[in-house]
Amino acid sequence: MPISVVMPALEMAQDTGKLVSWRKQDGEKVTKGEILLEVETDKAVVEVEALADGILAGIKAAPGDVIPVGQTIAWILASGESVPTDKSSNRSAGSAVQKSGVISPEAAQSRQDAPAATNRVRISPKARRLAQERGIDIALLRGSGADGEILVSDVLAAESSATPANAAPSQSPKVAASAKVSPATPTLSSVARLMAERTTQSWVTVPHFFVVRDVDASELNSVREKLLRSQGDSRQTRISHTDLLISAVARSLEKHPQLNASWTGQTIKHHGEINIGIAMAVQDGVVTGVVRNANKLQFAEIARQRSELADRARSGRLKPADISDATFTISNLGMYHVDSFTAIIVPPQAAILAVGAIAERVVAVEGKPAVRPIISMTLSCDHRVVDGARAAEFMETLATIIRSPA
């Protein structure tokens, strides 16, 4: 029977996805496991594989469309099969598009008869929601994204204008002009634009607070040196400080599940798995790869997964599973000789750990000055999920593990 191709859910709290491109054309043969399309989420542009062998047919979405998760956008047919024409299915798809706020049911129906809708406003889902919350008329905005798409930053810029963007038509014509933002030059890449939009929304909507700890990393260094010696000249991935920190954070989260949680909008959701997101720099931004069930992995396995994620991120070959379901994120800038910094939370996660370089400092040891390698860490927390005492307890556990990582 025909197999539907739907907009996949690639991360927590995802309502929609943006179709970037089709790798296969209508009527072209596809093989299970090969790349079928590219989808843009809040974190990255992800390649989506075909779920079966067959012929791609009945494509109902074009590049640039923002589509609700679960909506059918094409079919994979076996020999002799035809695209389903169930009218109830069409009506369901139309109502789903209406819910997303992208186009009306009438436009969705006309889409099946015409190449494309021509009278819609291009706006990201988060920007649309923010505009509705702030009472801003999106018809008066000019987007700075690709092809004029309205982003969260455009909505915030309109809100900060002297006069609201949705002022009555009888007022001065300068009102509408003040709410418009000229397209950015040069145009940002998808990854850079997503990072800008995501961090802006997080900083504006999430009540951040920060907890800082400086920890003696002597034993952390010692354990890493022993592990590297045990690896010898093997082809195993060399274990890094980041790998040891992933393990330490995962073990700390086992003892403090309050930080392995998410704000859902009304309640707190505690996660059964501990999946550590690793912020990784790519050519035009930052993406977050996910080491799953990190609390159950040995150092060598963490290193292998982290290395493979970094390779796929740099080559633009991230898979949906590579970026989905992170429950806590680590951002390590130690390799850039940064002493310390604060990081912006990745919603809907409750916290992110910013890690600086391990540097020798003069500290008091048993009342006398001594030189020790010190690592500085800053924990950013969502105050809706975590309070200061719980954050401090987590950092104490983490510091204890770093002082005795083995």
Q: How confident is the model at residue 146 (pLDDT cuts 50, 70, 90)?
A: low
Q: How confident is the model at residue 161 (pLDDT cuts 50, 70, 90)?
A: low
The more confidently predicted of residues 307 and 166 is: 307
Q: Within 10 Å of residue 313's Cβ, how many Cβ atoms?
A: 23
Task: Provide the percentage of residues in the chain whose pLDDT is more than 90.
Answer: 51
Average pLDDT rounded to a whole number, residues 278-283: 88
Whole-angstrom CA distances from 239 to 189, 328, 366 are 32, 21, 32
The more confidently predicted of residues 153 and 341 is: 341
User: For residue 99, what are its two tokens?
Assistant: 């819910």
Q: Give the neighbor-by-neighbor strand order of the sheet with 54-57.
A: 3-6, 72-77, 54-57, 29-30
Annotation says 337 is catalytic: no
pLDDT digits (tens, 9 = 90+) for 311-347: 988 887 788 889 889 999 999 999 999 999 999 999 8
Average pLDDT rounded to a whole number, residues 257-279: 95
Say whether pLDDT at 115 is over 80.
no
Q: Averaging pLDDT over each range in 4-8, 185-189, 313-317, which range is the top one?
A: 4-8
Average pLDDT rounded to a whole number, residues 89-106: 36
Average pLDDT rounded to a whole number, residues 300-317: 90
Mark residue 352 as left, alpha or beta (left: phi above 0; alpha: psi -120 to 50; beta: remaining).
beta
The CATH code that applies to domain 3-111 is: 2.40.50.100
Pick one of 3.40.50.300, 1.20.1250.20, 3.30.1330.10, 3.30.559.10 as the CATH number of 208-403: 3.30.559.10
Q: How confident is the model at residue 284 (pLDDT cuts 50, 70, 90)?
A: confident
Determine the pLDDT at residue 329: 97
Contact 215, 403 (CB under 8 A): yes
Contacts (Cβ under 8 Å, ≥6 apart) of 230: none
Least confident of 10-19, 86-95, 152-161, 276-285: 86-95
pTM of structure:
0.64
What is the rounded CA–CA span in Å between residue 352 and residue 256? 14
3-state secondary structure 248-284: HHHHHHHHCHHHCEEECCCCEEECCCCCEEEEEEECC
Sign for the pseudo-dihedral over CA of 89, 90, 91, 97: positive
Contacts (Cβ under 8 Å, ≥6 apart) of 187: 146
Say whether pLDDT at 164 is over 60.
no
Q: Three-state DSSP class for 202?
A: helix
Kindly list the domain boundaries of the chain, sorted by start residue: 3-111, 125-193, 208-403
User: Containing H/E element for 94?
Assistant: helix 87-100
